[in-house]
C-alpha cells in the first residue's frame, strides 16, 4: 500500500511540475516594430499620402472660402433666385468637404494597414518561431496585454458549458482549435 501511495505521489508531483513548468514570455510588439528597418519607409509613405490628402482638402477649403466670400460681398445685389442658387452651391460644397474628410480618413487608415500589416505578420511569425524554439507556451504583447502566441491546446468551452449546465448552441466567439 505504501508503495502504491509513493508511486501515486511521484506521478502527481511529476504532472504538477510539468504544468507549472510551462514557460510564459512577453515582448513589447510596438518597440519591436519601431526597430524594424521597413518601418521608416512605411512612415514616410504614410506621411506622403497624408500630405496628398491634406493638399486636396486645402484646395476644397480654399474653393469654399472663395464662394462664401463672393456670396457675402455680392449678396446685396443678387436676385432671390441667384441667392438660393449660390446658397445651394455652398451647401453642396460643404457636404462634399464633409464626405471627403470621412473618405480621406478611411483611406489613410487603409493605407496604414496595407503598409503595416506585412511588418506585423513578419514580427508575429518571428515571435512564434522564437517561442517554439525556446519552449514558450505563451507569449504576451506587453504593450497591449494581448496574447501573441499560444501553444496548441484543447478548447475546454464544451466542458465548461456542460459543467455550468449551458446547452446553448456553440458561440461564434469560440476560438478554433489549433
Q: Residue 33, Cα to own-chain centre: how many angstroms?
A: 14
The reply to whether 106 falls in a domain is yes
Q: Return the pLDDT at 162.
A: 80
Residue 64 forms part of a structural domain = yes
Q: Which domain holds residue 51?
A: 23-164
Contacts of 148 (CB under 8 A, 6+ apart): 27, 29, 124, 127, 128, 139, 140, 141
Query: Is 148:27 a contact under the CB 8 Å cutoff?
Result: yes
CA-derived radius of gyration, the chain: 30
Q: What is the pLDDT of residue 4?
A: 44
Predicted pLDDT of residue 110: 97
Spatial CA neighbour of 97 closest among 64, 143, 146: 64
Closest listed residue to residue 105, CA positions, set 45, 40, 49: 49
- Taking the C-alpha atoms of residue 178 and residue 171, their distance in angstroms, rounded to an integer, is 17
Per-residue three-class SS string for 131-168: HHHCCEEEEEECCCCEEEEECCCCCCHHHHHHHHCCCC
Q: Are 115 and 49 in contact (CB under 8 A)?
A: no
Whether residue 94 is contained in a domain is answered as yes
- Within a domain: residue 59? yes
Asked, for residue 176, whether it belongs to a domain, the answer is: no
- The tens-digit pLDDT sequence of the chain (178 residues) is 554 444 544 444 444 444 456 788 899 888 899 899 899 999 999 999 999 999 999 999 999 999 999 999 999 999 999 999 999 999 999 999 999 999 999 999 999 999 999 999 999 999 999 988 988 888 888 888 888 888 776 666 777 778 877 775 554 444 444 4
Domain membership of residue 12 (yes or no) is no
Give domain status of residue 9, yes or no. no
**Total count of domains within the chain:** 1
The predicted pLDDT at position 154 comes to 62
Rounded to 5°, the CA angle 43-47-52 comes to 150
User: Which pLDDT score, from 0 to 100, does residue 157 have?
Assistant: 74
Secondary structure letter of residue 172 according to DSSP: T
Amino acid at each position: 500500500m505504501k508503495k502504491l501511495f509513493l508511486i501515486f505521489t511521484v506521478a502527481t508531483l511529476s504532472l504538477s511540475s510539468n504544468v507549472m513548468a510551462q514557460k510564459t514570455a512577453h515582448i513589447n510588439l510596438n518597440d519591436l516594430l519601431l526597430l524594424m528597418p521597413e518601418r521608416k519607409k512605411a512612415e514616410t509613405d504614410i506621411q506622403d499620402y497624408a500630405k496628398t490628402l491634406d493638399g486636396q482638402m486645402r484646395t476644397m477649403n480654399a474653393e469654399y472660402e472663395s464662394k462664401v466670400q463672393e456670396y457675402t460681398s455680392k449678396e446685396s445685389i443678387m436676385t432671390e433666385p441667384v441667392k438660393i442658387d449660390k446658397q445651394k452651391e455652398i451647401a453642396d460644397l460643404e457636404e462634399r468637404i464633409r464626405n471627403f474628410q470621412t473618405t480621406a480618413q478611411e483611406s489613410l487608415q487603409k493605407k496604414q494597414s496595407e503598409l503595416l500589416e506585412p511588418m506585423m505578420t513578419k514580427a508575429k511569425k518571428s515571435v512564434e518561431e522564437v517561442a517554439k524554439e525556446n519552449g514558450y507556451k505563451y507569449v504576451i504583447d506587453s504593450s497591449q496585454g494581448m496574447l501573441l502566441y499560444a501553444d496548441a491546446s484543447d478548447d475546454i468551452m464544451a466542458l465548461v458549458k456542460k459543467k455550468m449546465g449551458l446547452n446553448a448552441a456553440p458561440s461564434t466567439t469560440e476560438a478554433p482549435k489549433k
